[in-house]
Amino acid sequence: MNIEQFIQRLPKAELHMHLEGSLEPEMLFSLAERNGISLRWPSIEALRAAYEFANLEDFLALYFEGCRVFVTEQDFYDVTAAYLTKASEQGVWRAEIFLGPQSFTERGIPLEAIMGGILGAIKDAHSTTGISAGYVVSVHRHRSVEDALQVLDAIAPWAEQVAGIGMGGPEVGYPPGRFRPFYLKAKALGYKTTVHAGEEGPPAYIREALDMLPIDRIDHGVTAHGDEELMDRLAANQMPLTVCPLSNLRLKGFPSLEVHPLKKMLDRGLRVSVHSDDPPYFGGYVNENLLACSKALNLSPEDLAALARNSFLGSFAPPEEIQRAVVAVNHHLDTFWASNQSHRLVGTD
């Protein structure tokens, strides 16, 4: 078993993936045609060529334009089903997927269509592939706190089926502490919570999220690597960080994967894990992220297993599901070493 096979078969959780950003170009064009929406790109090839971004804001302009092709419940179902099929093929046991309903409800799309499509696809995928999945309802930090609170009220009928609450969008200039009332209410309602912090924003944003928000994990968090005191704090409290290396690379957060802080953070004992963010836009799903990091950062099988273990430990899955998955990761690592030891012995003979 080589490293690529090890990664492919490694049980893992995908905790940081935006459904709006999972649109493969072919599906984006297909949904546009189905819904009679004209696109500014003349072809699939032209759209792919547009996947060169100067920064997060540059990417988000294209990202939000792509959201226009979502219109019906079937659209939300189809995109969710397509991603979960791909995730299952990549050895993902647990997927927690973001979608921000504000991008759609402001255009008059009923919340019922969004919830019905996503939750229906999650249920069907579990029946067909066995994948465990949850919908994390995300709000936009560039909108008002009042708008975010309205989202919490609106999703109340589906509260039992929602895996958690999150917040994303443009980070610089929008510190997380402003949304304290929103997060306090989400926690009071019993939701698990997560927040994007430390993608492009400074370490101070991560510290503010820790100090002011009742959160269960942080999405990204990579800018913490420049703050030794913050690194110590994150290691001590084992706050899960859902890191997206290829996203960081494509959005110019780091000049190369070779200087990405993932390995440094892992070695410092932080609960980091690897995810895809918006896979078609950034050049890879979770396995492509793991493989690229394995090569660039010289990650060992133990490192990769630790990342997978952390992904389950940071998930919002039931404790017994997490425990089963951690045992499976450890077994996979043991099997890898046993198979390679056996291969070496056969080769010696």
**Residue 286 CB contacts under 8 Å (≥ 6 apart), including other chains:** 12, 14, 17, 87, 90, 92, 274, 275, 276, 279
Amino acid at 324: R
Among this protein's residues, is 112 annotated catalytic?
no
How far is 118 from 95, CA to CA, in rounded Å?
13
How far is 158 from 343, CA to CA, in rounded Å?
52
How far is 167 from 143, CA to CA, in rounded Å?
11
Asked whether the beta carbons of 21 and 278 are under 8 A apart, the reply is yes
Catalytic member of 199, 258, 320, 321: 199
Q: List helix spans (H) across the chain.
A: 3-9, 25-34, 44-49, 56-66, 73-89, 102-105, 111-129, 145-154, 180-188, 203-212, 228-237, 245-250, 262-267, 279-282, 286-297, 301-313, 319-348
Asked whether the beta carbons of 196 and 166 are under 8 A apart, the reply is yes
How far is 211 from 261, CA to CA, in rounded Å?
23
Three-state DSSP class for 16? strand
Provide φ and ψ at 165, rounded to 5°: -125, 135
Token pair recorded at residue 229? 């005191």
How far is 136 from 84, CA to CA, in rounded Å?
14
Catalytic residues: 199
